[in-house]
Structure 1
Amino acid sequence: MSVKDDFPPLGTRRFGAVNWLGMWTLYVKEVRRFVKVITQTVAAPVITTLLFLAVFALALGKLRPDVQGVPFTEFIAPGLIMMAILQNAFANTSSSILISKVQGNIVDILMPPLSPGELNVGIAMAGVTRGILVGVVTAIGMMVFVDLAPVHIWAVIFYAVGASLMLSLLGMLGGIWSEKFDHLQAVTNFIITPLAFLSGTFYSVKQLPPETLPFVTSNPFFYLIDGFRYGMTGHADGDIQTGVIVTIVLNVVLWIISDYVLRRGYRIKA
């Protein structure tokens, strides 16, 4: 056997079409990153969400009538769970990338033999994992106070995973675009949080004036929260089929954009 047979041509990958081991290692590394500070990354948002539920239940629970046959606390509980999923999936990927850029160790994920697509999968799936974990723990905590019994399991799973993936990808783009923590905080404060709060988390959009409905239905978070609430309670303010299509289309578009940005090395390669 010649020396040329022992060493493949320069630039040839030795891992086949997909570097499964490298992608899995990156995913585990990202998961361990937030698990090491689980009090901050999981426990804190769960407690915050439960406090939201307690405040609304104590202040308005007995004063508010049922929302189309659904008790008020049971109506807002799925919205609060979804809001926690959205915020934490976004925070995981955005903080991971921005911290790596600020500390100068972004090279640790750029140097290994991982393609942009594999980087996309490893980082995004870690964000999905944190979002789902926070959602599950929050739901378990709420079951002590609210009767939560999923009506449509497929919708609960689809929207939980779809929302986590969507915000993970948005977090990646936000982390890549941001050059300092002020930039990322601006994205959170002026885009993510308003979209979450104005998407029917605490109220039925059918109570809003008709002229505001076009603005509500143009908010993708509305479909995520409404679809998840449909899965938990059987009640929906919007069209579930439209929500499924919007969720799939946006995830595909965001995946393509994030893959393109990683391939170009925008703001992550010198």
Structure 2
Amino acid sequence: MTQASGQDRPSPQMTMGTRRFGRVNWLGLATLAEREVRRFLAVWTQTLLAPLVTAGLFLLIFSIAIGPRRGDVMGVSFTTFIAPGILMMTVIQNAFANASSSIVISKVQGNIVDTLMPPLSGGELVLGYLAGGTGRGLLVAFAIGFGLLVFLGIGVQHPLWALAFVFLGAAFMSGVGIIAGIYANKFDQMAAITNFIVTPLAFLSGTFYSVDALPPVLNTITHFNPIFYLIDGARYGVIGVSDSSPMLGLAVGVGSTLAVCLVAWRMLATGYRLKA
């Protein structure tokens, strides 16, 4: 029997079922990302339409109840001031929910092994989950932004800044969602994280007020919250006013996103609370 020549043998890096095109399994990564995107698009009335309605209700209620008596904030009307904050708050909540729910549901249903068994590294798993959460966050942002333009006449003053902070906010909270999803083993644990950590951080980060109005101690504490910089940066991108420097906010956003993604990568790479 004649031995096959080296040229006839399939390259290990090009064989189906293994890592392809070098060190990155692009096929597996694209498949995971597509699954995560399809997952929230399949129920778009809950994942895209519902956040749009909720954001509209927030704007309507605060405008009617507080707007006429509140006056201008930082040179703009109260409704204009809170609109970018509500947009960003909705983005980060949905990005977090997308990544965390995907992992928790898989753990509860016992099919998380279907995600862990394919030849995907920890970094590829993080990127796949980030794609779903970030994609959902961006779509929610575009939908709310369109609504603000049509119904309130609020355009985007600095589009690149707005896009950068929305993207960072969605990516950061997707990373936090991966960590929370890995840590939580039951739905009530996930609900506790959402209700007692994520929601308070989103509400107490300058969404509905300028941090200059806070007492000095609370003002200082707020500046240690990365979500404050994301909301403040989005406000600068949309209406051109902010409580802090956009460059500082960008640096904090990038650093915080890299930090949570590194933690998520480590948890997925070691199988923390995922492997029996």
Tell me the equivalent position of 1:142.
Answer: 148
Answer yes or no: is 1:113 the counterpart of 2:157: no
Distance in 1, Cα, partners of 2:134 & 2:85: 18
Report if the CA contact (8 A) 1:166-1:250 is conserved: yes
Residue number in structure 1 paired with 2:219:
213
Gaps of at least 5 residues in structure 1 are: none
Alignment deviations for residues 170-211 of structure 1 (CA, whole Å, 9 cap, x no partner): 000000000101111111111110011111101111111223
Q: What residue in structure 2 maps to residue 93 of structure 1?
A: 99
What is the identity percentage for the equivalent residue pairs of Structure 1 and Structure 2? 49
Question: CA separation in 2, counterparts of 1:268 and 1:124?
Answer: 18
Among candidates 100, 103, 109, match of residue 109 of structure 2 = 103
Residue equivalent to 1:124:
130
Alpha-carbon deviations, 1:65-85, whole Å to 9, x = none? 111211111100000000000
Q: Report the residue type matching 1:260 in the other structure.
A: R
Q: Which amino acid aligns with 1:175?
A: G
Pairs within 5 Å for 1:1-270: 1-2=3-4, 5=9, 13-15=18-20, 16-270=22-276
- Quote how far apart the aligned CAs of 1:258 are: 0.8
Report if the CA contact (8 A) 1:128-1:164 is conserved. Answer: yes
Q: Secondary structure at the match of 1:135?
A: helix
Q: Structure 2: any 5+ residue segments left out of the alignment?
A: none
What whole-Å deviation, never above 9, does each CA across 1:116-148 have from its counterpart, x for those lacking one?
Answer: 111111111110000111111112123233221
3-state SS of paired residue (2:242): coil
In 2, Cα distance between equivalents of 1:211 and 1:98: 37
Distance 1:14 1:266 in 2: 23
- Give the counterpart letter for 1:235 in structure 2: V
Q: Which letter maps to 1:47? A: V
| Greater CA drift, 113-122 or 169-178 | 113-122
**2:36 touches 2:131 (CA, 8 Å); kept in 1?**
no
1:44-65: per-residue Cα shift (whole Å, max 9, x none)? 1110110000001111222221
Residue deviations 1:212-239 (CA, integer Å, cap 9, x gap): 2111111111100000000111101112
- Are 1:74 and 1:147, in contact at CA under 8 Å, matched by a contact in 2? no
Q: Matched residues in 1 for 2:148 and 2:19: separation?
A: 49
Q: Distance in 2 between matches of 1:130 and 1:64?
A: 33
Work out whether residues 85 and 135 of structure 1, in 8 Å CA contact, stay in contact via their aligned partners in 2: yes
Tell me the number of residue pairs that the alignment of Structure 1 and Structure 2 aligns.
268
Residue type matched to 1:104 in 2? Answer: G
* Counterparts of 1:195 and 1:38, CA distance in 2: 26
TM superposition shift of 1:6: 5.4
State how far apart, in whole Å, the 1-side matches of 2:39 and 2:12 are.
35
Instruction: Identify which range, 194-203 or 134-143, moves more after superposition.
Output: 134-143
TM-score by length of 1: 0.95
Alpha-carbon distance between aligned partners in 1 of 2:12 and 2:161, rounded to the nearest angstrom: 48
SS in 2 for 1:62: helix
Q: TM-score, normalised by structure 2?
A: 0.93
Contact 2:37–2:136 (CA under 8 A) maintained in structure 1: yes
